[in-house]
């Protein structure tokens, strides 16, 4: 059995769900042979993707994820159309932020460079119009101000439920690999999160083609190169909600 389409179908379950080592440079994908078939698969409608993925999972004796988001919101609408961005040297945060912004907008407008290259210091002062017409405010919990793990997971789960991507902080559980890395969190399956890693060798043009389970990449949440684990993140909140919260505080 050809395993690559099977794996892709599993990764795209429910209509495209939510490194260990960095790659040196982005390589161009040549859409020929098997690659052409995979590229055509992810370019089909979300409904058709979901049907194919769930049928393949059933054939493998697997069950769909148990704690799926609502499948509404910009994240779910744009997974199959927004392009994957491969990071440069020390730009995992900015590359992940650019992909998250593009997922929110449904465009390929943002780039690693436009996100501040490696620091993203202006993210919390930026506003973005989502593909749903809502104006969102950037939210960046800086490395210097970590939160409790429970709050970190609550924010992620809440955003995914609303169809909003999250740029999450992770570290490798393999000795000698990165203890400070950023990825785009796009979904959750049971107790495992689904991510897009900007340092992983890409397997297609779109974000949907590059989704992998956090556990398979041997990652755990939080930055681990501080005296204590740092649970920090970047995401978006409707500007109207943020204004209401500030007014009541």
**Residue 104 C-alpha from the chain's centroid:** 11
Residue 207 sits in which domain range? 3-248
pLDDT at residue 150 is higher than 80: yes
Q: How confident is the model over 164-204, as pLDDT tens digits? A: 999 999 999 998 899 999 999 999 988 899 999 999 988 89
- Dihedral angle sign, alpha carbons of residues 216, 95, 209, 28: negative
Q: How confident is the model over 79-138, as pLDDT tens digits? A: 999 999 998 888 999 999 999 999 999 999 999 988 876 678 788 889 999 999 999 999
Q: Within 10 A of 32 (CB to CB), how many other CB atoms are there?
A: 9
Per residue, what are the HEC states of the chain?
CCHHHHHHHHHCCCCCCCCCCCCCCCCCCCCCCHHHHHHHHHCCCHHHHHHHHHHHHHHCCCCCCCCCCCCCCHHHHHCCCCECCCCCCCCHHHHHHHHHHHHHHCCCCCCCHHHCCCCCCCHHHCEEECCCCCEEEEEECCCCCCECHHHHHHHHHHHHHCCCCEEEEEEECCCCCCCCEEEEEEEEECCEEEEECCCCCCCCCECHHHEEECHHHCEEECECCCCCCEECEEEEEEHHHHHHHHHHC
Q: How many domains does the chain have?
A: 1
Q: Within 10 A of 55 (CB to CB), how many other CB atoms are there?
A: 11
> The domain that contains 226 carries what CATH number?
3.90.70
Q: How confident is the model over 189-248, as pLDDT tens digits? A: 888 999 999 999 888 999 999 999 999 999 999 999 999 999 999 999 998 876 555 555
């Amino acid at each position: 059995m050809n395993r690559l389409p099977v794996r892709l179908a599993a990764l795209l379950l429910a209509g495209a769900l939510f490194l260990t080592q960095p790659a040196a440079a982005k390589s161009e994908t040549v859409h020929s042979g098997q690659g052409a078939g995979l590229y055509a698969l992810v370019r089909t409608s979300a409904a058709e993707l979901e049907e194919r993925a769930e049928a393949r999972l059933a054939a493998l004796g697997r069950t769909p994820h148990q704690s799926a988001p609502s499948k509404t919101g910009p994240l779910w609408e744009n997974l199959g159309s927004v392009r994957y961005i491969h990071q440069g040297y020390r730009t995992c945060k900015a590359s992940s932020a650019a992909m998250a912004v593009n997922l929110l907008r449904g465009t390929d407008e943002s780039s690693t460079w436009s996100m501040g290259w490696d620091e993203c210091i202006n993210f919390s002062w930026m506003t973005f119009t989502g593909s749903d017409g809502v104006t969102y405010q950037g939210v960046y919990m800086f490395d210097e101000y970590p939160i409790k793990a429970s709050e970190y997971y609550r924010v992620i789960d809440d955003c995914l439920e609303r169809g909003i991507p999250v740029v999450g902080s992770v570290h490798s559980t393999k000795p000698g690999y990165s203890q400070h890395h950023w990825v785009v969190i796009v979904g959750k399956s049971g107790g495992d999160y689904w991510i897009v890693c900007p340092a992983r060798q890409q397997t297609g043009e779109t974000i949907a083609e590059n989704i992998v389970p956090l556990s398979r990449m041997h990652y755990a949440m939080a930055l681990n190169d501080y005296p204590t684990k740092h649970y920090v993140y970047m995401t978006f909140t409707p500007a109207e909600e943020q204004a209401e919260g500030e007014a009541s505080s």
